[in-house]
Amino acid sequence: MPNKGDIVKGRHIGKVGSHSRESYVWVICPICQKGRWRTKTEIKRDRRPNSHLNRCHHCAVSQKGDKCVNWKGGKPKDRDGYILVYVPEDNFFAPMRNSIGYIREHRLVLAKQLGRNLHRWELVHHKGVKYPKGSIENKQDNRIDNLQLISDTRHNQITILEKRIAYLESKVLSLGGKP
């Protein structure tokens, strides 16, 4: 039985092909204390001591919730930074779901307030009452007083005006004006 930190070539532990020439290190899973072989290049690449790569396969995939290395606070977010909420098929708001069963939280909050499903062309605008417009905090501030239901055309007009205001404010600041 190898000891923690032992280094051998792949051919000595049954690896074939290009893997037979790689160096392997015996590592111990920090959760279940079972040992396994990892390549030295894998270990060098992974600089995080608590990474799931240091765990055996069973322990890496069985960690749920806040014990999982990818835990981000329990609220999934989409690529634009909006909070997603899972809605089951039998829910009243199920027609608003995406292909994997999620709805952006701000759309769900406003739909519940209105008591109906929102149409695809109806947009929910974050007014930016508490946080700066366009910031991640504003995209996740889903209080009803920060949300506004508008059409696509109206949303484009608001976006253009907000960008123009930000541009003019930066010009005033660059000319020595006060914020």
Euclidean distance between CA atoms 171 and 146, whole angstroms: 28
Per-residue pLDDT of the chain (179 residues; tens, 9 = 90+): 889 889 999 999 999 998 889 999 998 888 889 999 988 888 877 766 666 677 788 887 776 667 666 666 678 888 888 899 989 999 999 999 999 899 999 999 999 999 999 998 899 988 877 776 666 677 888 999 889 998 878 878 888 888 898 899 888 988 887 76
- Map out the domains of the chain as residue ranges: 7-67, 84-174
DSSP readout, 128-159?
A: -SSS-TTSHHHHT---GGGEEEEEHHHHHHHH
| Strand partners for 73 | none
The 10 Å CB-count burial string (b at 16+, else e) for 17-43 is eeeeebebbbbebeeeeeeebeeeeee
Q: Which amino acid is at 68?
A: C
| Strand partners for 27 | 36
DSSP readout, 31-48?
A: TT--EEEEEHHHHHH---
Contacts of 22 (CB under 8 A, 6+ apart): 9, 10, 15, 39, 40, 41
Q: What is the pLDDT of residues 153-177, one digit of tens each?
A: 887 888 888 889 889 988 898 888 7
The whole model's pTM is what? 0.54
Contact yes or no for 103/96 (Cβ under 8 A) = yes
Q: What is the pLDDT of residues 19-37, one digit of tens each?
A: 889 999 998 888 889 999 9
| Strand partners for 136 | none
